[in-house]
A and B are shown apart, each in its own frame.
Chain A
Amino acid sequence: DAMVIQNPRYQVTQFGKPVTLSCSQTLNHNVMYWYQQKSSQAPKLLFHYYDKDFNNEADTPDNFQSRRPNTSFCFLDIRSPGLGDAAMYLCATPRTGPAGGYTFGSGTRLTVV
């Protein structure tokens, strides 16, 4: 079963200071997802990769960028974090096997001060 590892678990950044969140997965799956989850809300898809093909959701702000240097790793870059970007950021990849579904990392909780 795929494992999705997110680092760090908690991140504090200053208003306007670029920050990078990282995600790795152990199964070398070709699809990876990034979600933003604000307090008391459902996770919102920001973008996903199919191999190196980057697919941005239409309403994802330009402030959010992503890099996928290889199959295992995917980074979320927030160029100029605002107070409204404070949230839990979740990374996911499809599960293998008959059970299906998606495996999520434990998330990175971003605080902007």
Chain B
Amino acid sequence: SQELEQSPQSLIVQEGKNLTINCTSSKTLYGLYWYKQKYGEGLIFLMMLQKGGEEKSHEKITAKLDEKKQQSSLHITASQPSHAGIYLCGADMRTGNQFYFGTGTSLTVIP
């Protein structure tokens, strides 16, 4: 069952443009994580959000958590080709130590 849905599924943007990726959970979020994956490679941890309203930034990437909506958004400002890859949200499901991933968003940045 897919408990974490990401949108859009794929995104193609011109370099320099801003973009937003959303992650929506069907269950209560206890911790929401964002990862990036270059094609064919391992996962890179970006950031973790735990509290409603929390917002974190890393370089040009900002993530927010809306606990009431069970949703998180990842915003990239002034995108660069180095931002290209697959972005995955992940969440703790406290019922039993499980950690699940969202459906993923593939980002292409055109120079």
Footprint of B on A, CB under 8 Å?
A: 31, 33, 35, 40-45, 48, 50, 55, 57, 88, 90, 92, 95, 99-107, 109
Contacts and interface: CB of A to CB of B under 8 A. Distances in A.
Interface in B24-59: 31, 33, 35, 40-43, 45, 47-48, 50
Contacts of B41: 106-107
Contacts of A48: 97-99
B102 A107 contact: no
Contacts of A90: 42-43
Interface of B is mostly: strand
Contact of B45 (A35, A103, A105): A103
A104 B90 contact: no
A101 to B, nearest CB: 5
Interface residues of B, number: 23
Interface of B: 31, 33, 35, 40-43, 45, 47-48, 50, 88, 90, 96-104, 106
Contact of A42 (B31, B45, B98, B101): B101
Counting chain A CB atoms within 10 Å of each CB, which of B35, B99, B104 scores highest? B99
Given A43-B43, A95-B45, 15 more contacts: A33-B99, A40-B106, A41-B104, A42-B101, A45-B100, A88-B40, A101-B33, A102-B45, A104-B35, A104-B42, A104-B45, A106-B41, A106-B42, A107-B42, A109-B40
Contact of A104 (B43, B47, B97): B43
A103 B41 CA distance: 14
